[in-house]
Amino acid sequence: MIYTLTVNPSLDYIVDVPSFKAAAVNRTKNERIVAGGKGINVSFMLKNLGVKSTALGFLAGFTGKQIEKMVEDQGIESAFVHLDNGNSRINVKITSTTENPAHKSEETEINAQGPSISQSDLELLFTKIKSISSNDTLVMAGSIPSSLPDSLYCQIMECLSQKNVSFVIDATKNLLIKSLEYHPFLIKPNHHELGDIFGVTLSTPKEIVPYAKKLQEMGARNVLVSMGKDGALLAAEDGSVCYSSAPKVQALYTVGAGDSMVAGFLAGWIEKNDYCHALKMGIASGSATASTEGFGTKKDVLSLIPNQIDFIG
């Protein structure tokens, strides 16, 4: 079983505002409300790919109830901790056209803080975490709210250290680095995040390779580096390094594309236990989501699987 943990879920209010202007009245062209949070996004995409998962995290108030309903309405199992106070956050995502021909659209995000989480709430989460069995996979994705220690992911991995659980970490900088001592099965920084960790600018696959390998030396088993429209690179546990460009699609809304890449990689790995196939499924899944409203379907994903994988020495 795959479990996904979203510590601070949200309702995402996604609006299309042509030529958005600050300090002015703007009117939407399209709008929708979806359950959000990186772990939840992974669960949504896994569902589309025919892979079961259970969503974990904290929910509060009327927004929390709606998030849970949206998750369960998609046929995804959930085991959320319900908080007594506050409301799960509402995030606003604005997509707007621009006058710059190089960037036909841009995305603006306004992310709320979310409810306060107490020690007793955290203990309830750990009760659920302890039910995870050997050979299960736990995806921990996204930031940790200020009411919780930034060592939370490490605490969870320590709690499960006596079990053969595969950890997947999609987080930034210190949160990611601290997790490496527990040898996660997969981490997924993008190339900007990878550059930030080491204080460098990375643009090409060959530039990325030595830094992906450094993360392996620090403890990661597999390092999947997303590069947006330029594809992704995988430094795999078997010593291989492979890269594939992304299929050319018209990107409509890129939020959730990286989470879809994680889901696609896991689905591909489960299907064939082959790293190249997992990379292809990851890239296709990210591209399928980026090119549609919502999450890409399995049919979309299969139509976008790259034909070629390049091996980098």
Residue numbers annotated as active site: 259
- Which two three-digit tokens encode residue 60? 């509060």
CA 10 to chain CA centroid, Å, is 14
Q: How far is CA 283 from CA 112, 161, 168, 266, in A?
A: 29, 30, 17, 12
Q: What is the residue-wise DSSP string for 68-99?
A: HHHHHHTT-EE-PEEESSS--EEEEEEEEE-S
Strands, DSSP E only, in the chain? 2-6, 10-16, 30-36, 53-60, 77-78, 81-83, 89-97, 105-110, 137-141, 166-170, 186-187, 222-226, 232-235, 241-244, 310-311
Strand partners for 59: 82
Terminal alpha carbon distance of the chain: 34
- Which two three-digit tokens encode residue 168? 């997947």
Gap between the Cα atoms of 120 and 110, Å rounded:
29
Number of C-beta neighbours around residue 198 at 10 A: 11
